[in-house]
Structure 1
Amino acid sequence: EYADIVQTVEEIKKMIEEEKQFLPEGVAFSFSNDVSRLVKNRFEIVASNGLIGLILVFVLLTFFLNVRTAFWVGLGIPISVCGVVFLLKVTGHSLDAIGLAAIIIVIGIIVDDAIIISENIYRHFDELGKSPIDAAVDGIKEVFFPVLTTVLTTMLAFGPMFFMSGLMGKFIYIIPLVITFALVISLIEACFFLPSHIAHGLHRSKKKDKENWFIKIQNPFSKMIRLVLKYRYISILGFFLILGGSVLYFTNYMHFVLFPASTAERLYLRTELPPGTSLKANGEKLKEIETLIDKISKDDLSSYVTRIGVLAGQHGYFRPGRNFGTIELNLTPFGKRKKTALEITNILRAQTAKLKGFNSIKFEIAEGGPPVGRAISINVVGSDDAKRKALAGDLMKYLSSIKGVEDIESDDKYGKDEIHVDLNYPVVAKYGLSVSQVANTIRMAIDGMVATDVRYQDEDVDFRVILDKKTRIDEKNIGDLLISNKFGKVIPLKRVAKFTVKPGVDEVRHYNGERSLSVVADVEEGVVTPIEAINKVKAHYNLSRDWQGMKFIIGGEADETAKSIISLLQTFAISAVGIYFLLILLFNSLLQPFYVLIAIPFGLIGVIFAFAAHGEPLSFLAALGMIGLAGVVVNDSLVLVDHINQLRKKFPDKNIVEIVAIGTTNRLRAIIITTLTTVAGLLPLAYGIGGLDMFMVPMALSMGYGLLFATFLTLFLVPCIYAVGDDLIGLFGRKKEQDISHEVKVGEIDSVYQ
């Protein structure tokens, strides 16, 4: 279970090379479904894009601070990543694709904490004129509690994922684990090692007396923030209108899917020929499709495997049958191929539609992620066989009428031919026979009867009398079976029964003890989502009125998507409550935590814009990026609010607008640096500068563009909300706020800043 797939595959290939010398000439090996190549490709992409991002981060930090500070801040990233890999190994976990995604999410937060500390030390040294040691000590002391709180709030944001239920909970369990490890390591490195390295670098450098170039940016920004604060109510209204418009656009024009088809690296083509088709004839028909597949460019197709006599699919789906066939197509990594899985599927769909002799040819795109099943999966459950089959057929017909629903299948497939015996009951009674006599005679002929047994040593061996296979599958011979009636006469079976040969049922499925039929289908991305299709089915059918005794059991991606959305919303809610109480301890206020938390939903505006502009649906992977984005937004807003609080204590008589404007201007450089460095780290991954991996792109887009817009939130919305909050406190009286603060009993925090 915990084997290294890359190492295992390499060992297998090495063994095959050693065994080749013992094989006859002309024998060759070909490898298919080599998942290790995808794993290696993903690691290479993350490594190359990570290196490019690290270089961009270093350049930006050098531009805003200095070379030594940039080096020591950037060094925290590989230290944290290596620490995570080490701790995962120690705790018995492996680093998979989801673990890599978690590292990408947390890198921005790691960099933020280091930048906040280093920038504050640099500010004490460069702007306040302190010695390197004093700048380091005072700088870390001033922001230690806010930085500690940012780490704890991020842990609280991801912590509830440990308790997510269902399949997705097991799938993403590694995310909060990786993030917790990374945050603990980065906190230790940033608070205890980083300040000493920066102080050493400041001591060796010579302070320049020339005007700080960043003041040319701060001065116009200071005027702008004062103007925004002056019209703070209009500004907040504007932000709310933008948020409302974004949500409206999302609900009407955008879709949510668990895992987009663009992440797929495997296709399944399943065929069904008329019942009774031999395996040899089946293989000949599948060669027609293989001829079409051979025309696909080697840049797009890595290999394919044909299975005759079986329907197969992702996550272990397997169903035997002589008239069934499956072709599994393994695609090259996304960044190396010219066509997407959906484009290849559509080309093959159009070509195979011209082939004759097939009952059906269906396609399945194997999206990445856990085994959630097909996009649409509905179990039709009921004891009435005829009604259940009719309802399943009607459901398939209705699904085909929904635009975007395709590759509709049912497990109600014909098996081998059966001989149906229909008794003429009056005639049975006339000849003095009973139904049980007839049934026992047929059973004895077909299944046989144990005539005797012989003991060999310590084992009893039964001797069964049965018709030979050729005789018992011939309806004429079965009709000649003789049945002894109560008068001692023998009656041929054909005198009391009629025989018809019909296709038999391939298999009988049950759901909670009741017979069921399964109807599954896929959806065309961008046209309809699984949830939308299921909602249309629910609205169309009134089972209690029209199909009494029948019921639908929804499963597959649609069901898992609904569960995942609920679990994510619950995670957000639990995280928000936990973060709120933690911020109470930091701010010594019940109101101020809302200044930070209210910025989170506004951060989604940038995410919606990014995915709309790129024509991509919001996915589960994008949602994970949103959680990481929320962590960055909270961190920047938290440090800003804390700094404004410190200024209010230092200058209690100053006007609130002036205090907020000064505090925001002071934090401008740190906020810009954290934004640009995080975006720079994510940009190569989002656009595949160092290699494209569609599994990582949604997270990078979500965090990158979301953070760009979140910067305006932190610089303009949060100060406005802070000022409005002070207006409300002034309106209802400051005494009430002070009484609440005493009830919380966290006054000790004040002494840290005095």
Structure 2
Amino acid sequence: MPDVGQVFDSGLENRELSVELDPKRLAALDLPLDAVRQAVAAAFVRVGAGKVQDAGHETLVMVVHEPATPDDIGGIVVRAQPGRPPLRIRDVGRVMERFPNDTEIVRFSGHDGVSLWITKRRQADVIRTIESVNQTVHDWLETAPPTVRFTSTYDASIETRTRLRILRDNAAAGFALVLLILFLFLDRRIAFWTALGIPFSIALTTVILPWTGITLNSISLCGLIIVLGMIVDDAIIVAESIYRRIESGTPLRQAVEDGLFAVIGPVTATILTTIIAFIPIWFIPGVEGKFAAEIPAIVMLMLASSLLEATTILPAHIAHAGPTADSRRPPGARWMDHLERIYRRALTVALRWRYALFAAVLAGFAALAIWGAEHVRFVMYPLDQAWEVWIYGKTADGTSLEDTAKAMAPLEHWIEQLPAGVVHSYKTVAGRDPDGWVQASNAFFAKLVLTPAQQRTTSATDVRERLLDAWKAATDTAITELSVHIESGGPPVGRPVEVRVISNDNAARNDALDWLRQRLDELGVTDIDSDAERSEPALRLQPDLARAAAAGITPAQIAATMRTAVDGTIAAWLNTPDERIPIRVRVDPERLDPRNPTRGLLLTSRFGHAVPLDSVSHSESVVEPRTIYHDNGDRTNRLRGNLDLEVTSPASMYPVIENLLAQMQERWPDVRGEIGGQARKSVEQLSRMKINLALTVVAIWVLLTVVFNSMFQPFMVILAIPFGVVGVLIVFSLSGDPLSLFALMGMLGMAGVVVNDSLIMVDLINRKEDDTEGVKVIIEGAVERLRPIVLTTATTVVGLFPTAYGLIGGADAFISPMVTSMMWGLLAGTTSVLLFIPLFYQVGLDVRRLWRRS
């Protein structure tokens, strides 16, 4: 299929031919195990001997011998002596066709099966790809055996379709609300031409997108929604500037020219500040940055398109058509007049008591900033709409793979008892440890794929609690350990708490692990597991070097013979047109003595005679670590655990764990610790986002110094940013929602949008200051800019509001926090602009006058 990238299988049992030998027969015939392996390897020959010439024609000479059936392989001669019948494989064992599954047992939704994990090509459409896969499966099932059925265990298009539907519907609602605001406060014709900027910008961006390699998906659509209310901001400022001059009696074409050129400079600056704010998202490292990289590209294309429309097409339309001939004012004009009167009176009082109010605002800002910073929680990817649940567990050490698989039956029953419509599918794997790549017969894991959060009332957290409660209440289960981990659905960031303990001193490292585990448990960390516990009973075979050397045997021979006896060795491959079948040689598992597996096994010495394996080695029962982990050459072990994200966050746990590691190193100087997982990533991302926000502020300040030809006034303009940031912290603290990584990205974007209103206001006050002195100029400039500030803020907020709170189809766990952060930051920043900028401007004038007098 052209859109499919790769296909991986899980649970597929590949066919092999197994030569299974009887150790007693081998011993009786004085036949070393390795001699059988060598005989099998020598029997499979496919060699090109070259070409011969015959009357000008070439003929290829091949030597081929490939026993194709178990009976053919059983006839391979392993020893031949003059005067005696040849000794064949069937004389010392049997050949069987097997489908080995001795490392893991995989089940799907409680049934045996095989899974195919299908990936798409990079530029392929996920929805179309899955539709074509489903059609292929449907066509195949028409001719498949009736006992075989197909079930989708994971479908990426479900999440994509759900998110696209939510964003599409809420975007439509936001667009309708933006139109309502425009027609409520502007002349009908001017509102219509202003609103035309939205479809124009979307259409132009859609035309350019294919050249950028960006597809229309849930992330790029998020960028479109973020900018939906903003793309009319520049058009509103231009239209309002023109409309104000028309209202004052200026001729139409003159009003268009004067209105456009009065604001084209600051309007262009507002577009640039917004673009600057989104650029740092491109530089977020790792998977997170790649995940959101399309958002700034969409925002930039949309804003550039809207600027083109607002400064060329919009003025041309207004100059051609003009306002509505009807003399009636827009429905919201009286509300705006009333708001302007209230605002004028409030500014008059505020500027009269400017120093007291200035100090009160700063004190209130500081208090709210401290309170918000203390009460907000940072969680990179909240679990509100998580749809993937991982279950890790163990049975008693030494439990066989088959018994571990049987012990999982109660777990499958507990999963089946979850409310209907919660679980889309689940997969259970016996024989793998929690990481999924280390074999362990007594370990298992299960993966649950839940239905979309909008279609169920049971959260992933509820699923975890139900499963853990069922396990704790069970009295007859063989499961000794069980933990449940929820994947948020974002890029992989590990467990909330992960700590590595590193030391080559095994005793000190294990003591430190036990001490640290107890401390973490006291701090409320749950489901703690350690890879140091992954050990298993072992039979250690120790070569007797002196005897082995005297007999002409090497330790490597002993190891190779034991591997062949127990696990088997691939001696040859049988190539057919359809498959490549391994030929494995081993001792028959039913005849191998588990307490003394060396019994009856012989080695071939370098002197050519057979030597009993147990004569050159001895065995002992021990407990061995299943896996030995190293970090830069040093022995290491890891502790992992979960947190109650309703109470605390991985970022807040980071300094606590750092303190614990410092105490640990005081107790055990040779042991050091490293923090990983979500705690480390959260702190790193917070630090990077703070740096990005600081760089954004500096870049905006540099741009504004050029616009205002001043170093002081840009500080006044960017004061809206900290007010917006504090507003975001307060809203997330009061709502109890965690501040996610995407909310921080929204805060970055907000920084570029929130300065636009203060930029427009300061620019107008500067123009008026040439004509008038004193408080009056500030009041008149602020009041004149009230309408465009209110309109641009209102259109942006109502454009974002449906997506922020999921008015249609529910909220989205990733996109909604970003939009919520932008919306509330803009509201808080705009409110501060309306009051604080005039105060700051007048205080600045006072200081400047005092400086001149002095």
TM-score range, shorter chain: 0.7 to 0.9
- For 2:154, what is the secondary structure of its paired residue? coil
Q: Distance in 2 between matches of 1:263 and 1:113?
A: 36
Give CA-to-partner distance per residue, 1:41-96, whole Å, 9 cap, x none: 11111111111111111111111113333333333234333444443322213344
Alignment pair present for 1:683 and 2:776: no
Aligned residue in 1 for 2:377: 255
Q: Which amino acid aligns with 1:407?
A: D
Alignment counterpart, residue 405 of structure 2, candidates 283, 292, 295: 283
Alignment counterpart, residue 673 of structure 1, candidates 785, 791, 794: 791
Please tell me whether the aligned partners of residues 105 and 628 of structure 1 are also in contact (alpha carbons under 8 angstroms): no
Alignment pair present for 1:307 and 2:429: yes
Where do 1:494-573 residues align within 5 Å?
499-542=619-662, 543-573=664-694
Aligned residue in 1 for 2:108: none
Alignment counterpart, residue 721 of structure 1, candidates 840, 843, 846: 840
Alignment pair present for 1:607 and 2:725: no
Give CA-to-partner distance per residue, 1:77-118, whole Å, 9 cap, x none: 343334444433222133444433333333333232222122
Where do 1:245-644 residues align within 5 Å?
245-311=367-433, 318-355=437-474, 356-403=477-524, 405-414=525-534, 417-420=537-540, 439=555, 442-443=558-559, 445-447=561-563, 474-476=594-596, 478=598, 499-542=619-662, 543-644=664-765
Q: CA deviation at 1:484?
A: 14
- For 2:355, what is the secondary structure of its paired residue? helix
Q: CA deviation at 1:148?
A: 0.5
Please tell me whether the aligned partners of residues 106 and 628 of structure 1 are also in contact (alpha carbons under 8 angstroms): no
Instruction: Evaluate the alpha carbon distance shift between residue 637 and residue 610 of structure 1 in structure 2; reply closer, same or farther with a 3 A threshold.
Output: same
Q: Which amino acid aligns with 1:446?
A: M
- For 1:28, what is the secondary structure of its paired residue? coil
Q: CA deviation at 1:549?
A: 2.9
- For 1:618, what is the secondary structure of its paired residue? coil
Q: CA deviation at 1:26?
A: 4.6
Provide the aligned length of Structure 1 versus Structure 2.
Answer: 710
- For 1:353, what is the secondary structure of its paired residue? helix
Aligned residue in 1 for 2:140: 19
- For 2:371, what is the secondary structure of its paired residue? helix
Q: CA deviation at 1:473?
A: 6.7
Q: Which has the higher helix share?
A: 1
- For 2:229, what is the secondary structure of its paired residue? helix
Instruction: Evaluate the alpha carbon distance shift between residue 342 and residue 464 of structure 1 in structure 2; reply closer, same or farther with a 3 A threshold.
Output: closer
Q: CA deviation at 1:670?
A: 1.1
Please tell me whether the aligned partners of residues 187 and 330 of structure 2 are also in contact (alpha carbons under 8 angstroms): no
Alignment pair present for 1:138 and 2:138: no
Q: Distance in 2 between matches of 1:635 and 1:448?
A: 75
Q: Distance in 2 between matches of 1:84 and 1:318?
A: 45
Between 569-578 and 380-389, report the one with greater CA deviation.
380-389
Give CA-to-partner distance per residue, 1:488-543, whole Å, 9 cap, x none: xx999989987432343322322223232222222111222213323222212335
Alignment pair present for 1:185 and 2:301: no
Please tell me whether the aligned partners of residues 278 and 752 of structure 2 are also in contact (alpha carbons under 8 angstroms): no
Please tell me whether the aligned partners of residues 375 and 530 of structure 1 are also in contact (alpha carbons under 8 angstroms): yes
Q: Which amino acid aligns with 1:347?
A: R
Q: Which amino acid aligns with 1:73?
A: T
- For 2:469, what is the secondary structure of its paired residue? helix
Instruction: Evaluate the alpha carbon distance shift between residue 77 and residue 432 of structure 1 in structure 2; reply closer, same or farther with a 3 A threshold.
Output: closer
Let me know the Cα RMSD of the aligned residues. 3.4
Please tell me whether the aligned partners of residues 73 and 111 of structure 1 are also in contact (alpha carbons under 8 angstroms): yes
Aligned residue in 1 for 2:69: none
Q: Which amino acid aligns with 2:307?
A: L
Instruction: Evaluate the alpha carbon distance shift between residue 87 and residue 300 of structure 1 in structure 2; reply closer, same or farther with a 3 A threshold.
Output: farther
Q: CA deviation at 1:281?
A: 2.8
Q: Which amino acid aligns with 1:664?
A: A
Give CA-to-partner distance per residue, 1:143-201, whole Å, 9 cap, x none: 11101001111122222333333443333332322222222112112211122233444
Q: Which amino acid aligns with 2:461?
A: L
- For 1:297, what is the secondary structure of its paired residue? coil
Between 299-308 and 582-591, report the one with greater CA deviation.
299-308
Alignment counterpart, residue 229 of structure 1, candidates 325, 331, 351: 351
Aligned residue in 2 for 1:459: none
- For 2:196, what is the secondary structure of its paired residue? helix
Give CA-to-partner distance per residue, 1:294-322, whole Å, 9 cap, x none: 23233433332333333567xxx644433
Alignment counterpart, residue 242 of structure 2, candidates 108, 121, 143: 121
Please tell me whether the aligned partners of residues 541 and 619 of structure 2 are also in contact (alpha carbons under 8 angstroms): yes
Please tell me whether the aligned partners of residues 350 and 357 of structure 2 are also in contact (alpha carbons under 8 angstroms): yes
Instruction: Flag the structure with larger Rg.
Output: 2
Alignment pair present for 1:150 and 2:266: no
- For 1:654, what is the secondary structure of its paired residue? coil
Q: CA deviation at 1:254?
A: 2.2
Please tell me whether the aligned partners of residues 475 and 499 of structure 1 are also in contact (alpha carbons under 8 angstroms): no
- For 2:361, what is the secondary structure of its paired residue? helix
Q: Which amino acid aligns with 2:852?
A: G
Give CA-to-partner distance per residue, 1:392-451, whole Å, 9 cap, x none: 333223222212x2222222353553213579x9xx99x9999998956743652579xx
Give CA-to-partner distance per residue, 1:236-255, whole Å, 9 cap, x none: 22222222222222333221
Between 6-15 and 495-504, report the one with greater CA deviation.
495-504
- For 2:501, what is the secondary structure of its paired residue? strand
Instruction: Evaluate the alpha carbon distance shift between residue 552 and residue 72 of structure 1 in structure 2; reply closer, same or farther with a 3 A threshold.
Output: farther
- For 1:603, what is the secondary structure of its paired residue? helix
Aligned residue in 1 for 2:88: none
- TM-score under structure 1 length normalisation: 0.86
Aligned residue in 2 for 1:457: none
Q: CA deviation at 1:377?
A: 1.9
- For 1:536, what is the secondary structure of its paired residue? helix
Instruction: Evaluate the alpha carbon distance shift between residue 560 and residue 292 of structure 1 in structure 2; reply closer, same or farther with a 3 A threshold.
Output: same
Q: Distance in 1 between matches of 2:551 and 2:205?
A: 73
Aligned residue in 1 for 2:782: 664
Please tell me whether the aligned partners of residues 599 and 633 of structure 1 are also in contact (alpha carbons under 8 angstroms): yes
- For 2:431, what is the secondary structure of its paired residue? strand
Q: CA deviation at 1:603?
A: 1.2
Give CA-to-partner distance per residue, 1:650-701, whole Å, 9 cap, x none: x1x431x111110110011111112222221222122221121222221232
Q: CA deviation at 1:718?
A: 1.1
Instruction: Evaluate the alpha carbon distance shift between residue 163 and residue 704 of structure 1 in structure 2; reply closer, same or farther with a 3 A threshold.
Output: closer
Aligned residue in 2 for 1:62: 183
Please tell me whether the aligned partners of residues 374 and 521 of structure 1 are also in contact (alpha carbons under 8 angstroms): yes
Q: Distance in 2 between matches of 1:11 and 1:137?
A: 56
- TM-score under structure 2 length normalisation: 0.76
Q: CA deviation at 1:289?
A: 1.8
Aligned residue in 2 for 1:745: none
Instruction: Evaluate the alpha carbon distance shift between residue 84 and residue 332 of structure 1 in structure 2; reply closer, same or farther with a 3 A threshold.
Output: farther
Q: CA deviation at 1:474?
A: 4.2
Q: Which amino acid aligns with 2:523?
A: I
Instruction: Evaluate the alpha carbon distance shift between residue 477 and residue 623 of structure 1 in structure 2; reply closer, same or farther with a 3 A threshold.
Output: closer
Please tell me whether the aligned partners of residues 445 and 467 of structure 1 are also in contact (alpha carbons under 8 angstroms): no
Aligned residue in 1 for 2:91: none
Q: Distance in 2 between matches of 1:261 and 1:210?
A: 46
Instruction: Evaluate the alpha carbon distance shift between residue 387 and residue 41 of structure 1 in structure 2; reply closer, same or farther with a 3 A threshold.
Output: same
Q: CA deviation at 1:713?
A: 0.8
Q: CA deviation at 1:559?
A: 1.4
Q: CA deviation at 1:468?
A: 7.4
Please tell me whether the aligned partners of residues 661 and 673 of structure 2 are also in contact (alpha carbons under 8 angstroms): no
Please tell me whether the aligned partners of residues 414 and 503 of structure 1 are also in contact (alpha carbons under 8 angstroms): no
Gaps of 5+ in 2: 1-121, 566-570, 573-582
Q: CA deviation at 1:137?
A: 2.0
Give CA-to-partner distance per residue, 1:207-235, whole Å, 9 cap, x none: 44899623232122211111111222222
